[in-house]
Chain A
Amino acid sequence: MICKHVIDLMPFLNDGSLAPKIEKEVMEHLAVCENCHSEYHKLNNMIKVVCETIMEQAPVPGSKYVEMVTRRIKKKKAERTTALWAVPAAAAILFAVFLGTYSMFLGNDGAGLMAGKKHTNHGQTSIVTNNPSSEVDLTYHSFTTYANVSLDDMLNSMDENEIEALIGSEER
């Protein structure tokens, strides 16, 4: 083995990364080559000095290190516990807000949906209205959805002009 190869392989001596046969050849070379032996000696000393310097600079964890880690763990646990109920709670709040908004948007129709079902069960004709006194609302909603007011009740509460307007709009 030539000196150049030995010098290249020196950093890996005794760390198990060289094949036994190669390692044996390198060591045999070191035993007879003064120059390579000197290089190997310098390399080991350099590594030793570098490691010593790094270790001299090594930070000390300190007596409160474990305490700090424990504190962080407790904080994270608390955050996780909060997350456990916060997600369902947030979902419930969102759902409630959605329901509220939906009800407001529909006005009385929201209630009418359920009342309408009940009314249908009785087999009566039904009609929807947000405002029974309004001709526009009455005609607009009459064919769109179920209602909470029976036709008979509604007709009884209307005057003749309103009834005519309603019949006229249905015919149109």
Chain B
Amino acid sequence: MKAVIPLPDEKCLLKQEVEIVEDIELVRRFKKGNESAFTEIVNRYNKRLLNTAKVILNNEDDAMDLTQEAFVKAYFNMKGFREDSSLYTWLYRIVYNLCISHLRRKKIISFISFDHDDEVMEFHSSEPGPEKEYERKELRRSVIKAVDALPFKQRTVFTLKQIDGLTHGEIAEIMGITEGAVKASYFHAIRKLQCMLKNHGEQYDM
């Protein structure tokens, strides 16, 4: 039997390299006074930052507010941005720090409640039957519940790694922790998700 190991997506890596070059170019243009370069940066990263902030905060309105604030901070502090680091890591760090401050202010960093039970979203599939549909909704609810139940750091590390595709080094830089701590958080996140979702193991080949 041969294990199926997913290979790194070369096109994706190539795209990322090109993106970094363009980021630096945009920063240079902005520093020279080209305001539209900053608009391009906002357009490029708002969706990703918004999603990350939403997962961290578990609140879409707060995520919207804080990411906008992050871009304002980036605008006024772009002169301090060193070109030897990547723009997106820098932006993520601003968002992460704002989220941390926000959660500390609200004193809800230790636990964020789950309140999406009333929302209904579909898994994209080919016309599932009512039973299958019910199972999928249940699975989805369980997944959200499991992600929300993860400790704050583990949830953030999981999202930055799996959704945003950042490396352990980049995550460590953003969160201000060591790479070892990032790996430990990721490992525990995986173990907890497996534990909380084990009842759904049979669904969708889980």
**C-beta contact mask, A51-83 vs B, less than 8 Å → 1, else 0?**
111111111110001101110110010000000
Q: Is the CB of B76 within 8 A of A13?
A: no
Q: Is the CB of A58 within 8 A of B47?
A: yes
Q: Is the CB of A12 within 8 A of B183?
A: yes
B177 within 8 A of A: no
* Separation of A44 and B4 alpha carbons in the complex (Å): 11
Q: How many residues of chain A get a CB closer than 8 Å to chain B's CBs?
A: 43
Q: How many residues of chain B get a CB closer than 8 Å to chain A's CBs?
A: 54
Residues of B within 8 A of A16 (CB): 167
Residues of A within 8 A of B206 (CB): 42, 45-46, 49
Q: Is the CB of A46 within 8 A of B193?
A: yes
Q: Is the CB of A49 within 8 A of B168?
A: no
* Separation of A65 and B69 alpha carbons in the complex (Å): 11
Q: Is the CB of A27 within 8 A of B3?
A: yes
Can you name the residue of chain B whose Cβ is closest to the Cβ of A41?
Answer: B205
A43 within 8 A of B: yes
Q: Is the CB of B197 within 8 A of A54?
A: no
Q: Is the CB of A60 within 8 A of B42?
A: no
**C-beta contact mask, B160-203 vs A, less than 8 Å → 1, else 0?**
01110001100000000001000100110010011001000100
Q: Can you list 30 A-B pairs with a CB-CB distance of less than 8 A? A: A8-B187, A12-B183, A12-B187, A13-B5, A15-B167, A17-B168, A17-B179, A30-B3, A34-B1, A37-B3, A45-B205, A45-B206, A46-B197, A46-B206, A50-B193, A50-B197, A54-B51, A54-B147, A55-B163, A57-B54, A57-B121, A58-B54, A59-B60, A61-B46, A61-B47, A61-B64, A68-B68, A69-B42, A72-B69, A73-B75
